[in-house]
Amino acid sequence: MREVTIWYNPSCSKCREALAILMNSTYEVQAVNYLETIPTKDEITTALTMLGMNPRELMRTKEDIYSELNLKDEDDYDKLVDAMIKHPILIERPVIFKESKAIIGRPTSIIDKFLQA
């Protein structure tokens, strides 16, 4: 069976909406609450490769912790990834993985097209 994985925050309405879309698809869904099951450095690095992004593009820059850690001026790849591991709330959501590709499922209207590709 075809599988998709979603990194989601259950308190986020867009994540719940994305999860509902996935659950109503023909895919087997692996839902990972990334605040409880924190992605490893390898998992985040792989996600960044699949997304075609740098670490800052995967970060929620409006979170208070982003400012508190002064990450705006940080350019070191590993330090940005390490910040997401230590403070997973910094990870943009929801992230949806299928085969060797991934997307950030915002807006949720892009999810169906991603699943069909």
12 is catalytic: yes
Q: Facing residues of 103 across strands?
A: 96
Q: In what order do the strands lie in the sheet with 3-8?
A: 28-33, 3-8, 95-98, 101-104
Catalytic residue, candidates 10, 12, 52, 75: 12
- The span from the CA of 107 to the CA of 43, in Å, is 23
Spell out the alpha helix ranges (H) of 1-117.
13-23, 41-51, 64-68, 77-86, 111-116
Residues serving a catalytic function are 12
